[in-house]
Structure 1
Amino acid sequence: MFKIEERSSAFEDNLKIQVELHKGVNYPHRLNFYDKPPLYDVSIEEFETSALNRLRILAEIESSAARNRSWEETKTVTSTQCEKYLPLKSSSATGTEKEAQRRTDHLGHFVLRLAFCRSADLRRRFVKAETTLFKVRYETDDSRERELFLGSRDFDWVAVDKVEKEKYRQELMSYGRADAFEAEKYYKVRWTRVPDLIDKRQVFLKGGWAYVPSKKQSSIVYQEFETHLERDLVATSRYMPRLDEDTRLGGILDNLSQGFLGGVSSEWSAGPADANGESIRAEMVDDLAAKHFPMCMRNSHQRLRADHRLNHFGRLQYGLFLKVLGLSVEEAIVFWRKSFDRINDDTFNKMYKYNIRHSFGLEGKRANYPAKNCQQILTSGGDPGCPYRHFSPENLQSALLSTYGPLGLTSSDVPEVMATVRNGHFHVACTRVFEMTHSSSGVKKGDGVGGGESVTHPNQYAAKSMELAKAQEEKASQMVVA
């Protein structure tokens, strides 16, 4: 891919070793520049699943940037997410399906290329997140395997020999530790290849060349990965019109391209009722809403109490949320009947009871409908929608203080939340509100709803809040007994 005038014999020898060592292996390295697309048949399910699992990680990476996490925090959260959704073991690991893991990684990357190549903004966000993922993997890779990967590619860098190193001794020593100079190796590349190092004044420049110490070698690799991906995304975008004829893929790709908006969550099918062995009764909803609901569901509940009605989409969104929270169909009928207290029983039975039973899979096609996740709510028409996206700034600030003030949110917390909203990171704003209002339960900034994860589903927010409250109650009761 890259042409250079001088190719070291060491590189050629290493490349020959790689060919012999990995002959017949599709993915010889954990690290990947994704030069070649997947040339094999896949099912629609595998096509979508591989992309969704990867997108969960990329969305959390973007969330980490929005939350101003340090690099170490970002690396920890990303590694945790990778282990959960996209494990990628080293070549030396035993007892793992390395080939299958690397195939999934490869396929998911190229599917997301199709989803995110269609606009400059989507390409920019995808490249930034993918480059961060590559950096995390590079830093956590086995040093021996990392060297083998570097040796398998031509990065167009020129090793600085002893004569040239000695010639620029003083200059090179001024950009690093003097006591480490003798042992340090240097590589030179065109200065345009390492803009980050130049910006930080970490390399010596001479005649258009940047002299990069081996400890900063990774910057060349990262920049190469980013440039490589940017170019390939533009090329992919030119072929996208050909996919318009395939109706199977259009909806999937559209859905994937919205993944950075509200994060990517699994369908939330198990609520506190399943986890704690407790059921939610109709008379408990008011108290639960005041203490544990995210802003979107709290807003729906307040509107229902104030107006004694909700529009069709509001009832659907809130009703499914309550169902997954643990409200049985019998209790749901009681809850909605008391909420619509301005109509008689006959009207309620004709207009609403069937739809309630339908949402529980007891009428019609008897499907067990899942609750709406953040991405679906954020991309809805706006009524009821997500308050962080659809409220005016003035209304949102007022709503935040009136809703969460009793739970510990203060006026000094609001500017941080609003800044996140202005940058379009709505689910991150919701996550920060969760952290702020659960600090008394030991939740710190960056913890999210567990393991550093951002809020991606209203039921995820409520379930974690209820779990924390239950843990506090159990701890208090044990102290009383003691």
Structure 2
Amino acid sequence: MLKARTVRKPTNVEEKPSFDENTFGLEYPHRLNVYDRPPAFDVTLEEFETAALDRLRVLAEIESSAVRGRSWEETKSVTGAHCKKYLPLHSSSAKYIDRDAERRKDILGHFVLRLAFSRSDELRRRFLKAELTLFKVRYDDSDMAEREAFSESRNFNWVKVDDEEKKVIRSQLFSVYSGPKATREALFKQETYLKVRWTRVPDLVSHRKVFLKGGWAYVPSREQSSIIFQEFESHLEQALLLTAKSLPRLDEDTRLDPILTNLSKGFLAGVASGWNDDQIDKDHITADMIDSLSKHFPLCMQHLHFKLTKDRHLPHFGRLQYGLFLKVLGLPIDEAIAFWRRSFSKITDDEFNKKYKYNIRHSYGLEGRKANYSALSCSQILIPSNKDSNWVCPYKHFAHENLSTALAARYQLAGTDLSEVMATVKAGHPHVACTRVFEITHAAQGIKKGEGIGGGESVTHPNQYAAVSIELEKASSGTKSEAMVVG
């Protein structure tokens, strides 16, 4: 069991007591959180890692949305779907939901990732940006009562403008509004204002949405969120720097360091794979089917299949990567041996049995430790633990000219589509490029730009890519067959 250390709350943070029948009895009364109270409850190593991985899946998709240029509404929709799947956080008014359990997981995941991503300037920057977006999505999805309860629970150091001061500067405040005079009059009449130092709302100042006087910005209540977002960003930025200074002490804990290292690697790769072979209903395939099925493979596996077909051989790590992929795809052990024996046609049966058959059986858990090995995820392929040139993600490790040629040859990409994918690769987002290729090559099955492999989700695993592609073809063929029968 791990026990999170209790850290004294910063002196500049003040919480105000409030009563709400929806939050009465809750340990964590607010869905919105600036994470200034570290978790002080016991957790297992499994809970520690699971909370962080589930949150990482959400943050990775937020990054993907930014790279893909999704609109705010699209980003909200995709992030909301991922939160519902991996990180549900119901409102305080929700009934028959263990809201404290959800909020404990949310807090734990945030602080674990804070530890993992305080290790470099790049990680801190990316974590801060993704967390801020997540907070904005949750704020937008909260109702007015929940927002007000959260605002009243904290001291945001703003000053409410009274009616008398509002009358004195009425003309200046009124000038900020646009539209017909009657509409502006109605808006102004019901508006309340807050005063903060103008440096706290630079976005509102730059867009001329506030009146400035004596170093103060007069912020209408409808723009109050800008103050809250700035407070969240400022607080987290400072907290990440403080965490970075404390990291050397964590290196002594051999239980946590490997977990934190893997989390940071996954975030650098832009992928957090939550996919596993239990998530699909797969049919057994035979060795003879692999050539025809290869059209459904992502480029990394198509590359290995092409090399194996051309050279009649693959080096060790190439065999490991491709063999586990085929195993999870549904290739049973007897068919796997037949496939590899046929592929290695330049050697004798005796040489194959001595050098390769044991390793194939080992990967299926039939030899050695008899472990059931999983296929490699995108994060493992993007940041390999070896120097073998066959263990690669083409979108990250190929020369740009070679990648462009491969995309044109394997997927017939050209023109705007090819340019868009290559631009994403050059910007350093290989998983987004792979996801975009999936969308382009499955447009005939109804996949649209931005939908990814479904619901806006990005590719995080080669088997995930292949499984969804195969299922889409089955569904499309079924629809065509039904149409023919009806006709």
Amino acid at match of 1:45: E
**Within 5 A, what are the aligned runs for 1:68-217?**
68-177=69-178, 178-179=184-185, 180-217=187-224
**Does structure 1 retain, via aligned residues, the 8 Å contact 2:116–2:263?**
yes
User: Whole-Å Cα distance in 2 between the matches of residues 210 and 131 of structure 1?
Assistant: 23
Amino acid at match of 1:297: M
Name the SS of the counterpart of 1:189 in structure 2.
strand
Name the SS of the counterpart of 1:412 in structure 2.
helix
Which of 273, 277, 283 is equivalent to 1:269?
Answer: 277
Which residue does 1:364 correspond to in 2? 368
Deviation at 1:163, TM superposition (A): 2.2
User: Whole-Å Cα distance in 2 between the matches of residues 257 and 151 of structure 1?
Assistant: 35
Amino acid at match of 2:146: E
**Does structure 2 retain, via aligned residues, the 8 Å contact 1:117–1:233?**
yes
TM-score normalised by structure 1 residue count: 0.94
Name the SS of the counterpart of 1:17 in structure 2.
coil
Name the SS of the counterpart of 2:277 in structure 1.
coil
**Does structure 2 retain, via aligned residues, the 8 Å contact 1:262–1:374?**
no
User: Whole-Å Cα distance in 2 between the matches of residues 447 and 23 of structure 1?
Assistant: 40
Name the SS of the counterpart of 1:377 in structure 2.
helix
User: Whole-Å Cα distance in 1 between the matches of residues 42 and 331 of structure 2?
Assistant: 43
Which residue does 2:394 correspond to in 1? 387
**Does structure 1 retain, via aligned residues, the 8 Å contact 2:18–2:153?**
no
**Does structure 2 retain, via aligned residues, the 8 Å contact 1:157–1:188?**
yes
Describe the shift of the 1:20–1:436 C-alpha distance in structure 2 as closer, same or farther (beyond 3 A). closer
Name the SS of the counterpart of 2:219 in structure 1.
strand
**Within 5 A, what are the aligned runs for 1:302-451?**
302-380=306-384, 381=387, 382-405=389-412, 409-451=413-455
User: Whole-Å Cα distance in 2 between the matches of residues 391 and 377 of structure 1?
Assistant: 13
Amino acid at match of 1:199: S
Describe the shift of the 1:359–1:262 C-alpha distance in structure 2 as closer, same or farther (beyond 3 A). farther
Name the SS of the counterpart of 2:129 in structure 1.
helix
Which residue does 1:240 correspond to in 2? 247
Deviation at 1:197, TM superposition (A): 1.4
Give the alignment's Cα RMSD to 1 decimal. Answer: 1.8
Deviation at 1:40, TM superposition (A): 2.3
5+ residue gaps, structure 1: 5-10
Deviation at 1:306, TM superposition (A): 0.9
**Does structure 1 retain, via aligned residues, the 8 Å contact 2:23–2:92?**
no
Name the SS of the counterpart of 1:258 in structure 2.
helix
User: Whole-Å Cα distance in 1 between the matches of residues 318 and 194 of structure 2?
Assistant: 61
Name the SS of the counterpart of 1:240 in structure 2.
helix
Describe the shift of the 1:19–1:87 C-alpha distance in structure 2 as closer, same or farther (beyond 3 A). closer
Give per-residue Cα distances to partners, 1:291-319, cap 9 Å, x unaligned: 21101000010111111111100000000
Give per-residue Cα distances to partners, 1:381-426, cap 9 Å, x unaligned: 4532100000011111111111110xxx323211211111122111
Name the SS of the counterpart of 1:310 in structure 2.
coil
User: Whole-Å Cα distance in 2 between the matches of residues 132 and 271 of structure 1?
Assistant: 29
**Does structure 2 retain, via aligned residues, the 8 Å contact 1:190–1:208?**
yes
- The alignment of Structure 1 onto Structure 2 pairs a total of residues equal to 467
Give per-residue Cα distances to partners, 1:352-404, cap 9 Å, x unaligned: 11111111111111111000000000001453210000001111111111111
Which residue does 2:7 correspond to in 1? none
User: Whole-Å Cα distance in 1 between the matches of residues 67 and 17 of structure 2?
Assistant: 44
Answer yes or no: is 1:230 the counterpart of 2:230. no
User: Whole-Å Cα distance in 2 between the matches of residues 93 and 429 of structure 1?
Assistant: 39
Describe the shift of the 1:24–1:52 C-alpha distance in structure 2 as closer, same or farther (beyond 3 A). same
**Structure 1 vs Structure 2: percent identity of aligned residues?**
60
Give per-residue Cα distances to partners, 1:5-40, cap 9 Å, x unaligned: xxxxxx99xx34349996764201111111111122
User: Whole-Å Cα distance in 2 between the matches of residues 252 and 238 of structure 1?
Assistant: 19
User: Whole-Å Cα distance in 1 between the matches of residues 459 and 383 of structure 2?
Assistant: 16
User: Whole-Å Cα distance in 2 between the matches of residues 2 and 157 of structure 1?
Assistant: 17
Give per-residue Cα distances to partners, 1:74-105, cap 9 Å, x unaligned: 00111110110111111111111111111111
Amino acid at match of 1:212: V
Deviation at 1:271, TM superposition (A): 7.1
Which residue does 1:8 correspond to in 2? none
**Does structure 2 retain, via aligned residues, the 8 Å contact 1:267–1:370?**
no
Describe the shift of the 1:23–1:477 C-alpha distance in structure 2 as closer, same or farther (beyond 3 A). closer
**Does structure 2 retain, via aligned residues, the 8 Å contact 1:262–1:456?**
no
**Does structure 2 retain, via aligned residues, the 8 Å contact 1:271–1:459?**
no
Which residue does 2:284 correspond to in 1? 279
Describe the shift of the 1:413–1:23 C-alpha distance in structure 2 as closer, same or farther (beyond 3 A). closer
User: Whole-Å Cα distance in 2 between the matches of residues 434 and 418 of structure 1?
Assistant: 14
Give per-residue Cα distances to partners, 1:307-337, cap 9 Å, x unaligned: 1111100000000000101111111111111
Amino acid at match of 2:290: V
Higher mean C-alpha deviation, range 59-68 or range 378-387: 378-387
**Does structure 1 retain, via aligned residues, the 8 Å contact 2:92–2:146?**
yes
TM-score normalised by structure 2 residue count: 0.93
Name the SS of the counterpart of 2:293 in structure 1.
helix
Which residue does 2:5 correspond to in 1? none
Amino acid at match of 1:181: F
Amino acid at match of 1:281: T
Amino acid at match of 2:278: A
Amino acid at match of 1:185: T
Deviation at 1:142, TM superposition (A): 2.6
User: Whole-Å Cα distance in 1 between the matches of residues 420 and 11 of structure 2?
Assistant: 45
